[in-house]
Amino acid sequence: MTVSANMIYDNTNLWIRGGSSNTVGWTWGADGESAYCTDLFTESSPDAPTRIDTHLGMAATDKRYTLTDAELTLAGSVTNDIHFGFRYTVGGVPQMGPSTVIPNGTSGPVSLDLSGLELLAADTQTPWDSQSTFFEFWEPNGSNVDWIAVDSLVINARVRDEPEAFSVSATSVYAGESVKLRWDVLGAEWIFIDLGAENIVTTNSAVGSVDVVQPLGTNTYVLIATNSSGSVTQEVVVVAVEFVGAPAGTLFNDTFDTTDTTDLNTSLSSRQAAGLLTSTYTEQIDANSSIAGNKLGRTATGIVTLDTNFASYLGSQPFTLSFDFFAVTAVNKWTAIHVKNALDVARSASPMQVYFRGDNSVNNLIFLQYGTGGAVDSLLISSNTVATALGSAFSIHDEHNYAFEVSPTDRASGTYDFLVDGVAVAENLPYAFSENIERIIVFTGLNLDARFDNLDITVLGEEIPPVLSISVDHTSSLSFEWGSILDKQYDLESITSLLLTNWTAYNDGVTLYTNIQASGTGTNSLTGVLAPASNAFFRVNEM
């Protein structure tokens, strides 16, 4: 199409590339994070430069669009240097945006950098008026353009979720834990956040956050944002509940010992008698799971979920999640078990998951997920890796015991070892769930006929520091004895005063007492250790 200077259309919009006055032309890019707009019309009048008006309506609500560039395609060569710029309004006041010069003789594509211009989908929060924007053309002397032919104009943008004005990282937590209050209020000059008990956060930053420890109960936080036009108020509510915890011992155990049935909830009280808790099961798709031969059978693509939430019972104390398993069919299909929480819902988002394939020859026979919920890492384990760790042949079609041995650092994160028949095949894999209030066990799969048995969660007692006994053999030598744990190592350490903290491995001039292997009897002892020349204190450090 051709746009000529001072052309008057009598309020009739002339749309480029098929636009209409009733549409908004944002179109999603293939990457899912970009968009472009072609919903444009031209307008020109005797007292205004040649221009292309742009109705930058939004394609989706709750999105924030950051403009990147405008791609202008000329249908013919310009006959003079022409300025090409972007205009927008804020509160009715025109603003001059980026501009560039189209050199004399240019035809085809011209790009205008719009980096950093941000537009919100919600009309009430637009930093500038999306319906009062236009691109204009003028000559170096400021006069209107005599002639320009435009084939198309495309405006590109990056897209992300529009932040809530006032939000909280979690609405349900345990008492004593922290939540993060976040705010992002366009146009705010002052922010006031009432934390209760006459504690008010005051800031002139329109974007920010604050961590708040949660007392037991329902806690309401109020944000007030102000500027010269007035104020707005918004609140969030956080419920903090008491953490129950669990004593050391069997928290949950299901033997699946019952008559053959397709009802997974048969004989629960007897099957689960060994545990502190019981749980029913829910199948998303029926008839893909059954109990046969006192084992849970998983055959197709259905999802089975334990209905009990174990989060209230698993704190910072170590625990194991274990089960017996074998694959029936020798096919390259899979079945899996993972721990789900309220935010990391999908299997692929869980930082604590294992799936098994039915083909011993594949390198991902056992596939572990770990890391941060929603952005997990993976570890592939082959049958050769397991066989090497066990010191004997291994097949996925033989029944073995598998276990996550979990060492939390807090209620959401820590590390785990993955064991086969009590032997670690992966160690110190970090995990971090996205929230603390839900821990649910889920079975999934894709057409692998497999069997599970003896599903168990056991809370482990905190390890007791070894008690060190010292005796004097005679004036120049000492004997030491302490309780030890199989597979642990110990250093004998000393210090000259308990007011100090720099414990070091003891060296009596003959032997440096480090990396002492546990004896395997539950007790370790040292004799004939030469005494220090002056007073000293001793301890053993377990590793």
What local confidence, expressed as pLDDT, does residue 97 receive?
83
DSSP letter string, 244-312: ----SEEEEEE---SSSBS-TTTTHHHHTTTSS----EEESSTTSEEEETTEEEE-SS--EEE----GG
What local confidence, expressed as pLDDT, does residue 39 receive?
42
What local confidence, expressed as pLDDT, does residue 32 receive?
47
- Give mean pLDDT, residues 246-257: 86
Segments of the chain assigned to CATH 2.60.120.560: 249-459
Tell whether domain 166-241 is in CATH 3.40.640.10. Answer: no
Q: Both tokens of residue 323?
A: 């089960």
Q: Which listed CATH number (3.30.200, 3.30.1490, 2.60.40, 1.10.3470) goes with 468-542?
A: 2.60.40
Confidence of residue 42 (pLDDT cuts 50, 70, 90): very low
Top-confidence residue, 155 or 425: 425
- Give mean pLDDT, residues 34-47: 44
What local confidence, expressed as pLDDT, does residue 401 receive?
96
Indicate the average pLDDT of the chain: 78
What local confidence, expressed as pLDDT, does residue 343 receive?
83
Q: What's the pLDDT tens digit per position in 22-34?
A: 334 445 455 444 4
Residue type, 214: Q
Contacts of 91 (CB under 8 A, 6+ apart): none
What local confidence, expressed as pLDDT, does residue 228 receive?
74
Q: Which CATH architecture is the domain 249-459 placed in?
A: Sandwich (2.60)
Asked if pLDDT for residue 475 goes beyond 80, the answer is no
Q: Both tokens of residue 59?
A: 């394609």
Asked whether 178 and 168 are in contact (CB, 8 A), the reply is no
- Give mean pLDDT, residues 72-79: 78
Top-confidence residue, 149 or 407: 407
Residue with tokens 């003079």: 80
Asked if pLDDT for residue 524 goes beyond 80, the answer is yes
What local confidence, expressed as pLDDT, does residue 367 receive?
94
What local confidence, expressed as pLDDT, does residue 187 receive?
66
CA torsion angle 39 125 206 98 (round to 10) = 30
Segments of the chain assigned to CATH 2.60.40.10: 166-241
Q: What's the pLDDT tens digit per position in 43-67?
A: 443 344 566 766 665 444 555 666 7
- Give mean pLDDT, residues 492-521: 85
- Give mean pLDDT, residues 172-183: 80
- Its pTM stands at 0.49
Asked whether 369 and 378 are in contact (CB, 8 A), the reply is yes
Pairing relationship of beta strands 34-37 and 26-28 according to DSSP bridges:
antiparallel
Residue with tokens 């029926």: 286
Pairing relationship of beta strands 423-432 and 366-372 according to DSSP bridges:
parallel
Tell whether domain 2-161 is in CATH 2.60.120. Answer: yes
Alpha carbon distance 281, 265 (integer Å): 6
- Give mean pLDDT, residues 443-467: 82
